[in-house]
A and B are shown apart, each in its own frame.
Chain A
C-alpha cells in the first residue's frame, strides 16, 4: 500500500500501527487455537467515510475534513474487528461520496483515482480507492458505500466484484451520511464468493442504526444450481457501449447453460426522478453545515463548489411525493422480481473513462440508469462482477440484482457465472510484470 498506493491515488492513510496490533493479536489467537472464521488475520481497507478511533483521520475524501477524527469506530469496523480482520488502510474516495455533483475523476483531495488496468483511466466512484486497492492486490477486500452507483461503478471499472446489499442489511452507524434513506455499505472483493463471506461478517441489526433489519444473513450460496431464472429489462440495452453490449451478450450465452432468461417490462414509473429527488433533498440537508459554512469552495472539483446550492431548492412537496412513489415502485418492482432469482444487466453502460475527461460527457446513457435508479430507490441488492475486456484492455462487468434481502440469490448466480468463466482470475498486466 505504501509503495503502490500512490500510483493509483488509492490510499489516504495506511493504518500501520493498528494493523500490526490487530495482526499480532490474530496470530496469537490462531496459534492458541482460537479461530474466528474466514476473515481472521485477513487485511482490508475501508472507504474513508467510515469512522475510526485512535486518531486515524476520516476525511470523507474532502479537503475541508482532511484533519477530521472520531473517538469511536463505525459499526462495520467494529464487526470486522470481531471477525478478526485487520484494518490496513483508509481508502480514497470521491469527496463527500459525490454529494457535490462531481462530473470528473479529479474530485478527491488525494488526487484523481487511477485505474490499475490503465492509469490513464478512471477507477469509477465514489468508492474509488476500494475498487483500485482490491484490483491492484493492495488488500484482499475493501468496504465501500453506495448511494447510487458508488460500489457497482468502481467494481465495473476496476474488474472486481462489488456487492451492494439490501438497504438496512448493514449498519450505517459511523458512516458519513450522504442520503440517509439511500446509503448502503458493502464489500468489494476479487470474487463473488468473497463478497458473501465479508457480507456475513458485517451484516446484522444495530441499535445505533434504526434502519437495520432484524432478518439474519447467513451466506449460503447454491452455485451448482442449473435452474436459475433470470430477467432482462426490456430496452435495457439501448444506448450501451458496443463492447459492453458484446461482452454482455457473451455472458448471456454462458448463463444459458444454467439459467432461463426472459425479457420483462417494468411498470412505467419515474424511477430516476424519485431516486434523484430523494438524493438531492437528503444530501442538501446532510451537508447543511458545510453549505452554510461556505467551505464548499475548498473542495477539489470546481463543480463541487456550487453543486449543493441548487439542491437546497427541492421543495418539501416534491420530496414527500418521491417518498410516496418510492413505496409504489418498491411494491411493483417486487411483483416483477419475485418471479426471478435476479434481473441481469451490464454493470455499467461503458468501461472506464479517461482520467482527464468529464465522465458525464464520455459515458453514454449516464443519465438513464434505470437499474441504478430502481435498485437504489427500492433498496435492492445487486452484485457486479467482471465479464470481459474492451479492445484496449479495460474491464467490463455484469450485474445481478435481486429482491430485497435476497443477497444469497444474486451471490449464487454470480458464483455460478464465475465457476464457468475466468474473468475474475485476470489481473492488471503491470502488476504481473512487477512480479
Chain B
C-alpha cells in the first residue's frame, strides 16, 4: 500500500459543497434550516472519512471483500 496524494483543502471544501447541494436538492424541502446545517455537518464528516480511505492506494488486484455467487434455482 502506498500513501496517495490527499486532496487539498480547497478541493475538499468544494466536494462537501457539491455533495451537500445534491442532498439539499433532493430532500431540502423537508428540512428546517437547523436540520440542513446538521446535514451539512454530516456530509462534512462523510467527506473526512472518505479522505482517510482515499489516502491509501491499493494494488489493482485488491478486490472488494464481498462474495457474489451466481444464483441458480435447483429444480
Mark A residues whose CB is within 8 Å of B: 101, 181, 210, 269-270, 272-274, 276-277, 280, 291, 294, 297, 303, 305-307, 309-315, 318, 320-328, 330
Contacts and interface: CB of A to CB of B under 8 A. Distances in A.
B52 A312 contact: no
Interface of B: 1, 19-20, 22-23, 26-27, 30-31, 35-36, 38-39, 41-43, 45-46, 49-50, 52-56, 58, 62-66, 69
Contact of B39 (A181, A309, A318): A309
Q: Could you tell me the dominant secondary structure of chain B's interface residues?
A: helix
A316 to B, nearest CB: 11
B62 A328 contact: yes
B53 A310 contact: no
Contact of B66 (A280, A297, A314, A323): A323
Contacts of B56: 269-270, 325
Contact of A309 (B42, B50, B54, B58): B42
Contacts of B69: 210
A431 B69 CA distance: 51
Nearest to A274: B53
19 contacts: A270-B55, A272-B49, A273-B49, A273-B52, A277-B49, A306-B38, A306-B39, A309-B27, A310-B42, A312-B23, A313-B22, A314-B50, A318-B49, A320-B64, A321-B58, A324-B62, A324-B64, A325-B53, A325-B58
Contacts of A280: 46, 49
A377 to B, nearest CB: 10
A322 B19 CA distance: 19
Contact of A328 (B1, B31, B52): B1
Contacts of B26: 309, 312
B35 to A, nearest CB: 4
B64 to A, nearest CB: 4
A309 B37 CA distance: 12
B31 to A, nearest CB: 6
Among B52, B63, B69, which residue has the most Cβ atoms of chain A within 10 A?
A: B52
Nearest to B71: A210
A376 to B, nearest CB: 13
A312 B36 CA distance: 14
A277 B50 contact: yes
A276 B49 contact: yes
A269 B55 CA distance: 10
A310 B66 CA distance: 25
Contacts of B52: 270, 272-273
Contact of A327 (B19, B27, B65): B65
A309 B21 CA distance: 12
A311 B42 contact: yes
B22 A303 contact: no
Contacts of A327: 62-65
B65 A305 contact: no
B46 A310 contact: yes
With a 10 A CB-CB cut-off, give which of A269, A305, A310, A323 has the most chain B CB atoms.
Answer: A310
A323 B23 CA distance: 24
A297 B42 CA distance: 17
Interface centre among A274, A276, A309, A318 (most CB of B within 10 A): A309
